[in-house]
Structures are given as structure tokens and as C-alpha cells.
Amino acid sequence: MMLRKILLSFLLFISGLLHANGQQKVWLDTDTGNEMDDLYALVRLVLDPDIEVVGISSAHFNNPDLLVFEKWNAYDAKTLNTVEESQRLNEELMSAMQITGIPLPLGADRQIGRAWGQQDPRDSPAVQELIRQVKMLKDDEFLDVLTLGALTNIASAVIIAPEILPRIRVFSLGARYNPNTRAWNKNEFNIRNDLNAFDYLLNLEGFDFTVMPLDAAFPLQFDRDNTYEQLKDAIPVEKILADRWRIHNPQDKTRIMWDLALVEAYLKPGLAKIAEVNTPPENKVRNIRVYTWIDHEKLAADFWKTLNENRN
């Protein structure tokens, strides 16, 4: 156990050095169309000067409510194509920030396999570009993949091109984990949208996997009025962020910034704690990592500081 802790500390130290030297390549996979926190997470990541974002892919957020309710958030459920909405917002945000040169490939439109299981991959432009980026890495490089929604795209990439497995490290938001009881709970939106993908990756030997459970992300919450006050409508991307709250969640005085919590904790590893834990009992017995704590106040301050610094 002590050896594992030492190894984990060493890996985090190396990760910190990579961030400091501006060497780490990062891929973001996000269901941007689902809620509002994805937009804030995307903006924060691409504004970071110490990493190189080499791709932003769109993820679906298909769920049963789309079949039985007229509305999903502010969308008409009957006409909503979830991955295309994520794609639209990814492109809109990057255009507003006047950032070009980062690939923005379209992801899969549904889970891997079928409703009863299986592991058939869902090929897509996102999967092919992700594979291409990994194969372009130098011998001493890794690609860090941050996923904010269903794990369809990353699971599909590994199934289609298993040779990329040793070159990627994945950080995902999803599931619940109680560090005191060591109990997992997969009854969570991102996981439910592709349980097949989550189980496949949990069972995949050699897959470098760090999960931020909702329990750890929960403390990072933004106040509506304070957010409106800090965002400047004269700046196009900030108006998009404010409008997302105004249009989709105007009734909410606070919002949990789930996805931003993962991005901030990844970028600021000194403001978070990670533990090595066992996979759920129904999965292959192996060790993965989970976030167990974040300094939500400092991470929130870092978001606003980064936004402010990039106004100049």
C-alpha cells in the first residue's frame, strides 16, 4: 500500500511538472449541450496557458426522458439530436473565443453495444481524430483525455485501436464513490447514458483511469447573481456563458459546476486529493484512482482569475 501511495505521488508530481512546462497535450470530450457547466469547463481548459488542447469532441447525452417528456432543459425533446447540439456549442464557443486550429470532431450519437450490453464500438470523426492524435505523440508523450459525459467516444477509440491504450490517461466525471465505505454507485446520469462503456473501461487491464465522482465535485457551486455580475456581456464568450444560465436555468439561484470541478482539479492538482481504490465488485478486480476532495473555494477563484486575465 505504501509503495502504491509513493508511486501515485510521483505520478502526480510528474503531472505537475508537465503542466508547469507547458508540455502536456489534452483532449476534451464533452456533452456540452446537456447542461451549463460543460461550457464553463471548456472555456477554462482552452484558456490555460500550460497545456496544449489538441482536440475537443462532442458527446451525446441520450437518455430515456427524451422519449417520454416534451422538454429536456430548454430543448424540444422530440427534435433534439444530442451530439449535434454539443457539436454546435463547441463550435460556437471556439468561434466566440476566436480560437482556431483545434480539431472539433463530431462524436458518436449513441452508446456502444446495445441496451442489454455488448461492446460494439461507435465509430465517428471524434474517434478517428483521437486515434490519430495519439499516434502522432512522441515516444515520451501521453495524451490526457478529459471526459465530461458518456464515455462512448473514448471506449470506442480503445476498442477500435487498442494499440493506443498505453499512451492515454483518462480523467472522467461520473458515478458516485464513498471513500468511507468504499462503495460505488453507478446510478448517475453520465454513466447511465453509456453503462456499457464505463464497464468496459473499468474492466480494461492497463487502462489509466481517474474518476471524479459526483460526491467530490458537489462542493463547487456558483451563485447565479454573482455569476451574472462577474460575466461581461460585452465579451462574446462570456455572454454565451451568462445566457446559458439565463435561458436554461433562470430559476436556479445556485448551480453545481460538476464538469468545471474536474477540469479545475486536473489543471490544479495541488488543490485536490486523489486516492487509489478498487473497481466496483461486479467489475474486474484492479485499481483505479478517484478524486476524494477538492478545494472548491480556491478552484472557483482560479476560474474567475483565469477569465479576468484573458480579458486583457
Beta strands in the chain (DSSP E): 24-30, 51-58, 71-72, 75-76, 143-147, 168-173, 176-178, 183-185, 208-212, 221-223, 254-256, 272-278, 287-294
Record the cell numbers describing residue 237, joined without a space: 464568450
Per-residue confidence (pLDDT) for residue 311, from 0 to 100: 87
pLDDT in tens, 5-36: 444 444 444 444 444 454 799 999 999 999 99
Record the cell numbers describing residue 85, joined without a space: 447540439
Per-residue confidence (pLDDT) for residue 12, from 0 to 100: 47
Provide the whole-model pTM. 0.92
What CATH number is given to the structural domain containing 39? 3.90.245.10
Q: Which of 27, 63, 59 is nearest to 46 (CA)?
A: 27
Per-residue confidence (pLDDT) for residue 102, from 0 to 100: 97
Report the Cα–Cα distance between both ends of the chain, in Å, rounded: 47
Record the cell numbers describing residue 149, joined without a space: 459525459
How big is the chain by its Cα radius of gyration, in Å?
Answer: 18
The boundaries of the domain holding residue 302 are 2-309
Q: Which of 144, 192, 196, 193 is nearest to 172 (CA)?
A: 144
Record the cell numbers describing residue 39, joined without a space: 461550457
Cell 465505505, residue?
Answer: 181
pLDDT in tens, 60-98: 999 999 999 999 888 999 999 999 999 999 999 999 999
pLDDT along the chain (312 residues), means of 10: 45 45 87 97 97 98 94 91 98 97 97 94 98 96 98 98 98 97 97 98 98 98 97 97 95 97 98 98 97 98 96 76
The total number of structural domains in the chain stands at 1
Summary mean pLDDT of the chain: 93
Amino acid at 146: L
Per-residue confidence (pLDDT) for residue 11, from 0 to 100: 47
Record the cell numbers describing residue 58, joined without a space: 462532442
